[in-house]
Structure 1
Amino acid sequence: MKFTTLGAALAIALGSASVAAQDDYQASEKAIKLAKENILIDTHIDVPYRIHDQWDDVSKATERGDFDYPRAIEGGLNAPFMSIYIPANLEFEGKGKSYQLANQLIDMMEALAYRAPDKFAIADSVADIEKQFKDGIMSLAMGMENGSPIEGDINNLYHFYDRGVRYITLAHSQSNHISDSSYDIRRKWKGLSPFGKELVVEMNKVGMLIDVSHISDDAFYQVMELSKVPVIASHSSLRKYTPGFERNMNDDMLLALKKNGGVIQINFGSSFVTSGANNWYTRRDEARDAAKESGKETTDFTAAFRKKNPFPFATLEQVLDHIDHVVKLIGIEHVGIGSDYDGVGDSLPIGLKDVSTYPNLVQGLLDRGYSDSDIKKILGENMLRVWREAEAYAEAN
């Protein structure tokens, strides 16, 4: 992961004209009010790993990254899910390091809330979110990105639930002991592992939401068969706009999600939003491989490639297209926000560059004819509904 200041990222990647284009988005007072006066949940923000990699006090304004408290307040964000992200590699998988890192990242979030109790509080229930919203405190919920820290032991599921984790992304960019990954051509399990199937059932029982982002299509459909409660895709977008990109969801998967009662939280990263941005990474990787073979790879290869091949940033309007498609296909009750802020580097769309910009999204929804009640569902009510159902099922079982 690479983090730069917003201004530096824009200046380098876009140039001054495009910085102006970012500023051209002006949310109305109504859009700002809708963002600030309702529960706004973003189910995927990578602050924990960002500040583990290089410390920032996000309770204050920061020069780096996409999130800090002042910008979040400006944007109306009051209930971010902080991602307990565990890298997908053999160094971590099955060797105790995943478990250790996950606990360290949770410690950091607890410490953040402890140091700034007037700003943050940990939230591990819908009731916490609602109470802290009324009290004017930003809720820090937690989701685990990559189930590697479970390490094949159901007791670790209970441990992380007790520590406040409320969803688990079953795998990340490589298949693990739970599930195949959409990025990994080695389909070791042809979906979920035997332990993964057991884990899904137990996650339902304990009240841990199942996150189907990152997993393979086969694993997704197996989760749909097993889960007795709605699931989430915490930070995914649509394959309709990125053909061949399995990391995103196709229309058949969306229809299965509707039947399950779940919600897809739209990822803002440009490579998730448009095929042009997605293909840019493929072209860069191919060029890097060719440079390696010829012995011409340089340490600043990506910067040099980007200078010759400007990155095709997505736009706010294209993010809205994803939301529109979900709504038209499966209904307003099944879509929300999972930006991936602090997780996609400087690839964010024009108009949605950091957590201060949610009112721009709200304005776009207003401009497209969404009602206030529809927008409230997208901002947070849909996610709260799914979370409540998970809580109710666990209480009954």
Structure 2
Amino acid sequence: MTRADAAPTLVRAAAFLRGHSDVLSGPSVRALLATQQVHDSLAAVTGRDDLLRAALVCLPHRLHVRPGADADALVRTALAVAEQGYEDEPGPRPDGGDDDDVRVPVPGAVLTVRRRQTFSLEGGDARERGPGTAAAPSLSAGEAAALLDDLIAPLARPLVSDGATPERRARSSASDRLAPARRRAGDRTIDLSVRATVRAAARSGRPPAQELRTQARRPTATLDVVLALDVSGSMLGARTRGLAQALAHALARSGHRVALLAFSSAVTVVCPLTRDPRRMLSAAAEIEPADPTNLELVIDDARELLLRHSRPSRSRRLLLVTDAHPTVCGRREEGAAFDARLPFAAISRAAPGAPGQPFGAGVARQAALRAAARCRREGIGVSVLCPAADPAGGGEADLAFAARLARAGGGRARRAPGAL
């Protein structure tokens, strides 16, 4: 490889590294120039062209990577991709892949590098919907509000006058301390506490009508809610976008603080906790499209987000919009994710072209159930909303596992009405 050939390869490798989620910064232009000089010097001394060796000498220690990431492996992969010479231009690839995929043969595997996509609740990509497919209609405001009432109501129960939740009040004698009812002219209804009234009458010996007790309710408590949207290969983006828009609007109208996550084999925070519906609906982030679904990872990440940015006194909820088909599990640093070092690349360890299956669905399901149980122990409820069946022939949601996941997380599982 001549000096003129090495420079474009280094530029493509640098672009690959700068776009990788495990690379926080780098490589700099100075690092690329140093790599070019080392390459030329090695070629002059040894008579061999070895750009990879020069890159491994100069680049790994100049990359600022996430904890647990292997800088050497990232550089090796970047060079392997860059040496294919594919430009980011539309049109068919030499290997027959589509506009978003580049297939790179490496020893014992086929590396498929997928170009990142921008995700937001507003707008949509035609490639996401597929040819001839219109964007999915959203739920009506009434339908979305009814779904939310059903899914998150257990965490939004009103407080009674002594500040206790209904559960604590039922376990204590707090209801006995409620003040006697006082009705004024024009009052047509009264919020009567039957339990407190009966107990007060039993103690005093007077008729219950003379010992009426009421419960003074405060306004419904607001929640901190994480709305997590499955954007994996088994879920069409247009199929879930309308549903997510309706849920986001309903959550914003309720006054809850809402965070938006998009997930497949990796998790992307599209919008942090906010009460501003415009901020949430207009937020956009680059996602790493992948076919596998890692429910364990998104549940754990949502739990950490809520524990870090939410007060313990607030009720917290995770609402998963997914077809409940987990296929992989684990975290990158544990080496258990679908691809520990390349979260936006699919790797097949079999012969070229053969699909990879690093983890069975059973293992991924058990991991997701354990993650939901961890949320429940922290006081975070997990509910699951499955999209309705896709009339275009999309995959069917696993309602049975969705129900198991919700039970483990102390929440509820429901299926969205209509054909989205």
TM-score, scaled relative to structure 2:
0.29
Hey, which of these two has a bigger chunk of helix by percent?
1
Which structure has the higher relative contact order (CA within 8 Å, separation 6+)? 1
Structure of greater Rg: 2
Hey, which of these two has a bigger chunk of strand by percent?
2
